[in-house]
Amino acid sequence: MAKRLSAQQQLKRAHELAAAMAELDKVNVRQILAEHTTVPMRDIIARIPGKTIEQKAQAAGVVRATVHNWRNGRRPILEHAERLVALTGYSLRQITNE
């Protein structure tokens, strides 16, 4: 038979559980925000393999001008965004802002 907790012990345990749940909520909120927040294109470009714009463009299967457009704030079209998902690990939503 399990030992019965006193009212004070029960209250302490309830506070511990509430604190643990609040911490889990923070983690979940951070994760949800990370998945649904648009990432700046400069951060996405930084994750594309290659050191030069030309190397990054080649890795992404686009021309250099496209990478320059991304650097200037343009978001990629869906076809390019899908490639960037595979290359960078960011979600499609983070890349396309949709």
| Helix 53-60 × helix 78-88 angle, to 10° | 110
Spans of the chain, pLDDT less than 50: none
pLDDT the model gives residue 5: 65
Asked if 92 contacts 84 with a C-beta cutoff of 8 angstroms, the reply is no
Quote the distance between the C-alpha of residue 41 and its chain's center: 13
pLDDT score, position 87: 96
pLDDT for 85 equals 95
pLDDT number for residue 74 = 92
CA angle at 30 for the pair 96 and 98, rounded to the nearest 5°? 15
Spell out where the chain has E strands: none
The top-level CATH class assigned to 38-96 is mainly alpha
- Predicted TM-score (pTM) of the model is 0.64
Distance CA(5)–CA(77), nearest Å, equals 60
